[in-house]
Amino acid sequence: MKPKLTLVGAGPGDPELLTLKGLKAIQSADVVLYDALVSTELLTYAPAHARIVFVGKRRGRCEFVQQDLNQLIVDYALNYGHVVRLKGGDSFVFGRGYEEIVFAQDFGIETTVVPGISSSIAVPALAGIPLTCRGVSESFWVLTGTTKNHTLSKDVAKAAQSSATLVVLMGMQHLAQIVAELAGAGKGDTPVAIIQNGSTSEEKIGLGTVNSIVEVVEKETLANPAIIVIGEVVRLHPSYEKGRMEVLSALGY
């Protein structure tokens, strides 16, 4: 069979948030390589003959380093045909999807990208937090909390100087550093939301401020996978302690 790679973004966790095009790709797969954050319900749509292979991260341990995973994709495509690489969220938003596509193309393998709904946008929305809102926030930053060297991104310090909403992915292990950067920029009272397992039945949320969110995380036992939302829009969450009515009133509601 002709080797082919389709990179499919599976969305933030709820299997019903997969796109129709992504579903059709899974249904035509000869091999499905899936990550830890992908709902296993989606695997049931693969053909009976398809090989299903887990290649994600569990308890901080990766099944494959990226270079080995790139080669694995190529090997499966050359030997079995259509490989669907199923990744959480969107493959091109901190998903290393571009690296996998380019590597496969170097071997002459046909490649297709099926975008997914990024957790950076979907999870806050599903929790009742808009990333932008007239009169509250005019823009948003989406940042990684952890670089390839496992350190905090220097962009966090730059983003702390902005009035934009900040959405930090993979940032829980550096939460104390993140809030320290914001507090140092005079934003100790800025609202913060931590959303764990967003869009799933196991979703948990913690609300606080830059100054208090570390204590909230400890009290609510929040952990990865989670995203961090920082900005005045967090006040619009229905359960935020104070400020929601004031914001809505200022908007004319």
Q: From first to last of the 253 residues of the chain, give the pLDDT tens digit.
A: 899 999 999 999 999 999 999 999 999 999 999 999 999 999 999 999 999 999 987 655 555 788 999 999 999 999 999 999 999 999 999 999 999 999 999 999 999 999 999 999 999 999 999 999 988 999 999 999 888 888 899 999 999 999 999 999 999 999 999 999 999 999 999 999 999 999 999 999 999 999 999 999 999 999 999 999 999 999 999 888 777 777 777 677 7
Q: Are residues 205 and 124 in the same domain?
A: yes
* Residue 1 falls in the annotated catalytic set: no
Annotated active-site residue in 30, 90, 170, 187: 170
Q: Are residues 13 and 95 in the same domain?
A: yes
Range of the domain at 145: 119-251
Q: Are residues 142 and 226 in the same domain?
A: yes
**Domain CATH for 60:** 3.40.1010.10
Q: Are residues 223 and 199 in the same domain?
A: yes
Annotated active-site residue in 35, 87, 90, 187: 35
- Examine the fold and report which residue of 63, 88, 114 is the final residue of a domain before the chain moves on: 114
- Angle of helix 66-80 versus helix 97-105 axis, rounded to 10: 50
Q: Are residues 232 and 108 in the same domain?
A: no
* Residue 170 falls in the annotated catalytic set: yes
- Answer for the pair 235, 229: CB distance below 8 angstroms, yes or no: no
* CA atoms of 27 and 47, how far apart (whole Å): 6
pTM for the model stands at: 0.92
Annotated active-site residue in 57, 154, 158, 219: 57
* CA atoms of 175 and 212, how far apart (whole Å): 11
- Examine the fold and report which residue of 83, 114, 145 is the final residue of a domain before the chain moves on: 114
Q: Are residues 105 and 54 in the same domain?
A: yes
Residue 112, H or E segment: strand 110-114
- Examine the fold and report which residue of 91, 114, 137 is the final residue of a domain before the chain moves on: 114
Residue 225: what pLDDT? 94
* CA atoms of 249 and 235, how far apart (whole Å): 12
Residue 79: what pLDDT? 97
The 8-class DSSP code of residue 151 comes to S
Residue 246: what pLDDT? 73
* CA atoms of 238 and 246, how far apart (whole Å): 13
* Residue 189 falls in the annotated catalytic set: no
Give the count of domains, the chain: 2
